Homo-oligomer: A and B are copies of this chain.
Amino acid sequence: MSRILVVDDEFRIRQLIRKYAEFEGYTVEEAVDGMQAIDICRKEEFDLIIMDVMMPELDGFSACREIRKFRQTPIIMLSARGEEYDKIHGFELGSDDYVVKPFSPKELMMRVSAVIKRSNGSNQTDVKKDIFTYEGLSVDFSARIVTIDGNRIDMTPKEYELFFYMVKNKGLALTRERLISEVWGYDFFGDERTLDTHIKLLRKSLGEYSKCIVTLRGVGYRFETL
Check if B173 sits within 8 Å of A219, measured CB to CB: no
Q: Which residues of B contact A169 (CB under 8 A)?
A: 127
What are 18 pairs between A and B in contact, CB < 8 Å?
A84-B104, A84-B107, A87-B104, A88-B106, A91-B114, A92-B135, A97-B97, A118-B118, A118-B122, A118-B123, A121-B122, A126-B171, A127-B171, A143-B172, A143-B222, A144-B219, A156-B218, A157-B216
| Interface members, chain A 136-180 (any B CB < 8 Å) | 142-144, 156-157, 160, 169, 171-173
Question: When the two chains form the complex, which single residue of B110, B135, B144, B160 contacts A87, counting CB atoms closer than 8 Å?
Answer: B110
| Interface members, chain A 186-226 (any B CB < 8 Å) | 216-219, 222, 224, 226
| Interface members, chain A 21-68 (any B CB < 8 Å) | none
Check if B88 sits within 8 Å of A107, measured CB to CB: yes
Q: On chain A, which size bracket covers the interface?
A: 35 or more
New A-B pairs, 19, CB < 8 Å, besides A118-B122, A127-B171: A84-B106, A87-B107, A87-B110, A91-B113, A97-B97, A118-B118, A121-B123, A126-B171, A127-B169, A127-B172, A142-B173, A143-B224, A144-B173, A144-B216, A144-B219, A157-B217, A157-B218, A157-B219, A160-B219
* A121 CA to B121 CA, complexed, in Å: 11
Q: Which residues of B contact A219 (CB under 8 A)?
A: 144, 157, 160
* A97 CA to B96 CA, complexed, in Å: 11
Q: A176 to chain B: closest CB distance in Å?
A: 12
Q: Which residues of B contact A171 (CB under 8 A)?
A: 126-127, 129, 142-143
